[in-house]
Amino acid sequence: MTKFIPWIILLVLVIAILALYQRSQHLQRAYRKEVQEALALLSSEADQFELLTEADLEHLPEQVQAYLRKAGVIGKPKVKSFRMVCTGEFKTAPDKGFVPSRAEQVNLVDDSRRVYFMGLEMSGLPVVGLHVYKNATATMQIRLAGLVTVADARGELMNKAETVTVLNDMCLIAPATLIDPRISWEPIDENRVRAIFTNQGITVSAELVFNDQHELVNFVSNDRYLTVSGQDYQSAPWSTPVSDYQDFGGIRLASVGEAHWQLPEGDYCYGRIRLESVAYNVTE
């Protein structure tokens, strides 16, 4: 019997490793499941391919109209969903260094659903994060090595914060969606407008800043909250300056961006991203 003990130990180790691996992949599986669930909601009706026209822009401020024309959305299909992939750098605290990151997400427009997955490394260990926003309810889970939960955020403040993120996505990744009737507009000056977005009873706003070339160069909101653990929330101005406009499948988008918090102690840039790919009206 003793000659089988090493094999028994090896078998137990293999089973334990497989169990840990399965658990470490939980958020990846959850991301794929959420995406499948979201895309299953899309209609295959013909109106999915209705083209966006000048008439759809008539209610928008001149600055936003010019931005959409420059983006090249006129004559293109109205956007019902989109998928985005980006790479970049991310930091978890002002005194920490940047680490490489990769993220992908899928959004439904009419349903205002957002599923976002990010991976990065901290001290040589993989960290994965899953953000889900659906039915105006948001959750954020972050796990070290896919096993240890380091953040689990949810609640009213998180719901409001992620509603801002949805509006940000619409402005920067899918500008054709700015015709959405849930957005009201207030011109500020020649290069700035305020977008006020309401989704299922949650209202948020942001200041959109344009340059003289009709490009959106910054998005600033006071309705987002900084949280590390998901337990404590800090209200602070949040901005996403963008630049380097490139062509993505016939739509002109900013390919480089940053994410900043304006904290009492100073500016905190916690994210730098490069847009790698965007696909519209995805169904799978």
For residue range 56-105, what is the model confidence (pLDDT) as tens digits? Answer: 999 999 999 999 999 999 999 999 999 999 999 999 889 989 999 999 99
Q: Dihedral (C-alpha) 31, 36, 37, 40: value to the nearest 10 degrees?
A: 160
Place 152 in a pLDDT band, splitting at 50, 70 and 90.
confident
pLDDT at residue 25, rounded to an integer = 61
pLDDT surpasses 70 at 264: yes
pLDDT at residue 27, rounded to an integer = 83
pLDDT at residue 5, rounded to an integer = 59
pLDDT surpasses 50 at 215: yes
pLDDT at residue 265, rounded to an integer = 94
pLDDT at residue 219, rounded to an integer = 99
Task: Give the whole-angstrom CA distance, residue 71 versus residue 53.
Answer: 13
Q: Comparing C-alpha atoms, which of 226, 217, 97, 107 is closest to residue 158?
A: 226
pLDDT surpasses 50 at 17: no
Task: Give the whole-angstrom CA distance, residue 48 versus residue 80.
Answer: 7
- Among 127-141, 208-222, 225-239, 260-274, the range scoring the smallest mean pLDDT is 225-239
pLDDT at residue 93, rounded to an integer = 87
Q: Classify residue 92 as exposed, middle or buried by CB count within 10 Å of its CB (0-12, 13-18, 19+).
A: middle
pLDDT at residue 231, rounded to an integer = 72
Could you tell me if 150 and 229 are in contact, meaning their C-beta atoms sit under 8 angstroms apart?
yes
- Among 6-10, 12-16, 25-29, the range scoring the smallest mean pLDDT is 12-16
Percent of the chain with pLDDT over 90: 74
pLDDT at residue 45, rounded to an integer = 52
State the CATH number of the domain containing residue 217. 2.50.20
pLDDT at residue 3, rounded to an integer = 57
Domain that holds residue 265: 2-280
Place 255 in a pLDDT band, splitting at 50, 70 and 90.
very high
Place 16 in a pLDDT band, splitting at 50, 70 and 90.
very low
Report the mean per-residue pLDDT for the chain: 89
- Each residue of 158-197: pLDDT tens digit? 999 999 999 999 999 999 999 999 999 999 999 999 999 9
* Number of domains composing the chain: 1
pLDDT surpasses 90 at 284: no
